[in-house]
Structure 1
Amino acid sequence: MTIKHYRDYFIQELTPLYDVGEAESFFYLTLEAKHQLKRVDLALQPDLDFSESELKIWSFILDQLKKEIPIQYILGVTNFYGLEFEVNSAVLIPRPETEELVDWIIQSSKVQSKFKILDIGTGSGCIAIALAKNLPNAQVFALDVSEQALTTAKKNAEKNQVQLSFIHQSILETEDLAQEFDIIVSNPPYVRELEKHEIKNNVLDNEPHLALFVEDNDALIFYRKIAQLAQKNLKLKGQLYFEINQYLGQETLNLLQEMGFKNYELRQDIYGNDRMIQCTI
């Protein structure tokens, strides 16, 4: 079967679950991951076809997508800030909004000489690794409560040829970080249980709930704890960066103001949602 004909079949099979644009994006992501072919290659060589063995692989991928398994988990990789990352069910799939947070830190830190960064709740390592790759003067530390997540982050650090210091630790049980940092950044769990109905099934049924959800009655538990540690372990004029729940921007700002942080800034993401905060000690 020609790849062009299979593409039409693939999209048609998925459109009951996904819109046409999303189904088409799955096709081209798979085509590049499995065959190193881009959309333009198919346009220039319309008679390319799949072998029987290749069609079996595509059939498996199609079945997985029909079960609403995220395409990134099926392929085992995703891109973030121009870098490739291994992803699996132990880690969240990196989001474009988090790229904006990383870019904010990079643009604000380029002129610094040697300095230390701590990424709390590193998951796949996407924030820590992107920072280490783009800020050669930084010594970057990556902390997570999950051993499986840290195993994945270590593989990603090797893949992207950066040196990180890894810490296996529960931040909620931490009283002191044992050293001082110039920057602390975190994208902690922030989705409230009451917001579960807004989450797509492919996220809800596959991505780690440990990294996603917090109790409704204490939605800012991680922000409060990390801010308390930042009071002890950020250097003078050190910076604290958070990715935040879009519905709790003002509440998160109020918390940081009450704790004595200064020079705070709340930014929206590309979708116009309150998404990230920076402040200083």
Structure 2
Amino acid sequence: MGSFQKFYRIFQNTLKDLYPEPKELESLFFLLTTHVFQCDKTTILLRLSKKEKINFLTYDKLIKKLWELKQNRPIQYVIGHAYFFGMEFVVNEKVFIPRPETEELVYWILQDYKDYNHNNLVQVFDIGTGSGCISITLKKKKPEIVHIHAIDSDQNALDIARKNAKLHNVKISLNNVDILKNGISIPKKMNKNYVNIIVSNPPYVRLSEKKFLHPNIVQYEPFQALFVPDDDPLIFYKKISFWIKKKLTGFVYVYFEINQFIYLDIIDFLKKTGFFNIEIKKDFQGFFRMVRAVYYANGE
């Protein structure tokens, strides 16, 4: 039988080389222990101070999960969930782990929402939904949005999104569509009175940038959700933009998460494609990581 103090020491010694930043290591420890013991951080701190014992089965479970962390497996996959906008989302290796930068993108939409013409119906297309965190958060925060179409090319990802929608008791439309392929039939041409919002955090990391990523991202997160070819890094933005021109009518508000290294290329592409009111924004780390633009679609 082990103790909280013993596990804390083993945890620190095992991961200190992988995670040299003490605050990050502490955060990982509390994420794991609060998950396993189904309690809050304060309770874990009290058990540490009291040098409480841990029964054999639970201690064994903790050691096994520590070993997963030692193998660079992200904590979110180890515990089976991640937090986004203060809400818990089921995640596994089939979906990209929700990030703080994406929270900022969603916050931007929510801030803008009050300025839309609310005489019109609002619908959202979340392209590359993954875990569904963007769609579900928007529906949770703004239940008056009429339709939210969560679109992904991977059925496994949509299965996770469906679980999360059920977990948060929201109704969204889940669509298995590959935006890179022709013949997309979703959605049908829409009424001009709709306010259409397109949001996407598509793959945008160039293959040549792979070496700069943390090993736990490269080893465990889905390749198809991360990388784009060096010779066409804007492939998803192009496909989404052409899809807008072909399928939608009226004003379309677009919110993209982007690669900070090629933000000028993205702005240039949007301008040439006919988007206007283009605005770029930095994330909490000071990188140009998101862009908003407007398009007036006549429908072709």
TM-score by length of 1: 0.96
Asked if residue 34 in structure 1 is aligned to residue 21 in structure 2, the reply is: no
SS at match of 2:65: helix
Q: 1:126 aligns with which of 133, 137, 145?
A: 133
SS at match of 2:169: coil
Partner of 2:188: 178
Percent of aligned pairs sharing the same letter: 39
Partner of 2:298: none
Q: 1:111 Cα shift?
A: 5.6
**1:215-226 maps to which residues of 2 (within 5 A)?**
215-226=229-240
SS at match of 1:265: strand
What is the alpha-carbon distance in structure 1 between the residues aligned to residue 95 and residue 41 of structure 2?
A: 29
SS at match of 2:278: strand
Partner of 1:17: 18
Contact 1:121 1:188 in 2 (8 A): yes
Asked if residue 163 in structure 1 is aligned to residue 171 in structure 2, the reply is: yes
What is the alpha-carbon distance in structure 2 between the residues aligned to residue 146 and residue 235 of structure 1?
A: 27
Asked if residue 230 in structure 1 is aligned to residue 238 in structure 2, the reply is: no
Mark the runs of 5 or more structure 2 residues left unpaired by the alignment: 296-300
1:139-173: per-residue Cα shift (whole Å, max 9, x none)? Answer: 21100000100000000000011100111011011
What is the alpha-carbon distance in structure 1 between the residues aligned to residue 140 and residue 38 of structure 2?
A: 25
Q: 2:144 aligns with which of 137, 146, 152?
A: 137
Partner of 1:271: 285
Q: 1:256 Cα shift?
A: 0.3
TM-score by length of 2: 0.90
Contact 2:90 2:131 in 1 (8 A): yes
Kindly provide the amino acid, as one letter, of the partner of residue 117 in structure 1. Answer: V
What is the alpha-carbon distance in structure 2 between the residues aligned to residue 70 and residue 231 of structure 1?
A: 39
Partner of 2:225: 211
Mark the runs of 5 or more structure 1 residues left unpaired by the alignment: none
Q: 1:108 to 1:233 in 2, by over 3 A?
A: farther
What is the alpha-carbon distance in structure 2 between the residues aligned to residue 65 and residue 102 of structure 1?
A: 29
1:221-251: per-residue Cα shift (whole Å, max 9, x none)? Answer: 1101101112233442220110000101111
Q: 1:65 aligns with which of 62, 65, 69?
A: 69
SS at match of 1:238: strand
Contact 2:189 2:249 in 1 (8 A): no
223-232 or 32-41, which moves further after superposition? 32-41
SS at match of 2:54: coil
7-16 or 252-261, which moves further after superposition? 7-16
Kindly provide the amino acid, as one letter, of the partner of residue 282 in structure 2. Answer: Q
What is the alpha-carbon distance in structure 2 between the residues aligned to residue 63 and residue 258 of structure 1?
A: 50
Q: 2:259 aligns with which of 218, 225, 245?
A: 245
1:51-71: per-residue Cα shift (whole Å, max 9, x none)? Answer: 111100001001101111111
What is the alpha-carbon distance in structure 2 between the residues aligned to residue 248 and residue 75 of structure 1?
A: 34
Contact 2:33 2:44 in 1 (8 A): no
Contact 2:198 2:254 in 1 (8 A): yes
Partner of 2:162: 154
What is the alpha-carbon distance in structure 2 between the residues aligned to residue 198 and residue 154 of structure 1?
A: 33
Q: 1:83 Cα shift?
A: 1.1
Q: 1:110 Cα shift?
A: 3.6
1:13-54: per-residue Cα shift (whole Å, max 9, x none)? Answer: 111221232222111001111113333223344223311111
What is the alpha-carbon distance in structure 2 between the residues aligned to residue 72 and residue 117 of structure 1?
A: 27
